[in-house]
Amino acid sequence: MAKKILIVDDAAFMRMMIKDILTKNGYDVVAEAADGAQAIEKYKEHRPDLVTMDITMPEVDGIGALKEIKKIDPDAKVIMCSAMGQQAMVIDAIQAGAKDFIVKPFQADRVIEAIQKTLG
């Protein structure tokens, strides 16, 4: 069965890009969210195998959403996505429980590599 993935990014084109990479590689994108608050709701609803999470978003940022998702499911697998130059945020994300991070702009093979490594 295909692994279920939730994509979280406030930019629709980024969600579309990630979704395209994932579906071409046999993953099932079960939901998308445009901010951290939506991400938490969609996580509860779909219980995906993995979440790709943007860090900088309106409402609740990626790190806030990551912490909430980890409260709901301590075993949640979340990969953070950040633009260049956000190293401090990446460290915060890893400390909050993120499994990996991908730097934007993405290379498709790096996205798949991170997901395969995280899902084992």
Query: What is the reported pLDDT for 84?
Result: 67
Shortest CA distance to 118 belongs to which of 84, 79, 67, 80?
79
Calculate mean pLDDT across residues 37-45: 98
98 close to 79: Cβ distance less than 8 angstroms: yes
> If pLDDT is split at 50, 70 and 90, which confidence band does 86 have?
low
**How many residues are present in the chain?**
120
SS3 55: coil
Calculate mean pLDDT across residues 5-31: 97
Asked if residue 90 has pLDDT above 90, the reply is no
Question: In angstroms, how far is CA 70 from the centroid of its own chain?
Answer: 13
SS3 44: helix
